Amino acid sequence: MTEPKSRARRGVEKSEILQAAFDLFAEVGEASFSIRKVAAIVGVDPMTVLHHFGSKDELLRAIADHGLRSVEMPAATPNWRDDLRAVAKAYRMLAHHHPRVFPLHFRYNATGPADHISSEIVYCALRRAGLTDTAAAGLGLAFYAFVLGFALAEAEGLLRAIGPSEEAELSALDPTKYHATQDLIPVLKTLDPGLAFEDSMDVFISGIADLARSRPRQKPVVTCEAKCA
């Protein structure tokens, strides 16, 4: 009761608008998204929406941030492999939950708290794996590229088991040139993206372990290990 509607329900409207905008975007996608529709849903003038967010671009950025804020990062565990897998899974689940919003995270490199938290987990895991700082920084980026790329491809509907039409298309190719592709048609038809993702994460982790063995860091990361272990 302290400030029920002080200064014309300040702040309340803004989050309400953002929620409506997010829901609309998540449902219809970017092509059918417009400020005017958001305004109609909230029951407000289009210019009110613009007044709170400045521009459509800013609104989209806010939507991206809102989506990223909803993902909760797992706590660090003693096992750096599990930590990497957990972060990867969290982002993939985010993409599955709001596939139409997910591309926005790429466009506006959303740097919310979740971003920093996950970065910390990833960097910490890579150092505990035994990587040098330089390698950890580079592989950290690669990790994100892989996870976000995979999740984005899934969200865009690119990574699915192939259907009859794609099978026909591949079968029609010149067998002398596309032998391997055509040999894989049976497994491509029953491919499970989730399984492929987990297998690929294992491959990535395995490669990281190899790198750490061949080029280990000079001294263990005491503070990091102490904190995370």
Residues that bind DNA (CB under 7 A): 3, 5-11, 13-14, 33-37, 44-48, 50-52, 55-57
Q: Select from 8-16, 39-47, 82-90, 200-208 the region that touches its own copies (CB under 8 A).
A: 200-208
Give the nearest distance from C-beta 32 to its own copies in angstroms.
12
| Among 16, 50, 89, 146, contact with its own copies (rule: CB under 8 A) | 146
- Indicate if the alpha-carbon torsion angle 225, 127, 147, 67 is positive or negative: positive
Place of tokens 């700082």: 133
Closest to DNA by CB, 55 or 223: 55
Burial class for 127, CB neighbours closer than 10 Å (0-12, 13-18, 19+):
buried
* Residue 120 binding partner per list its own copies, DNA, none, with a CB distance cut-off of 5 to 8 Å that depends on partner kind: its own copies
Site mask, its own copies, residues 167-196, x = CB under 8 A?
--xx--x---xxxxx-xx-xxx--x-x-xx
Which among 218, 41, 2 is positioned nearest to 18, based on CA atoms?
A: 41
How far lies 181's CA from each of 28, 70, 82, 150, in Å? 35, 40, 33, 20
Total residues contacting its own copies by CB under 8 A comes to: 67
d(CA 55, CA 60): 9
Task: Verify binding: residue 202, its own copies, rule CB under 8 A.
Answer: yes
How far lies 33's CA from each of 87, 97, 185, in Å? 30, 18, 38
Q: Which of residues 102-121 bind its own copies (CB under 8 A)?
A: 103, 106-107, 109, 111, 116, 119-120
d(CA 189, CA 192): 9
DSSP reduced 3-state for 219:
coil
**Residues contributing to the site for its own copies (CB under 8 A):** 103, 106-107, 109, 111, 116, 119-120, 123-124, 127, 133-142, 144-150, 152-153, 156-159, 169-170, 173, 177-181, 183-184, 186-188, 191, 193, 195-197, 199-200, 202-208, 210-211, 221, 223-224, 227
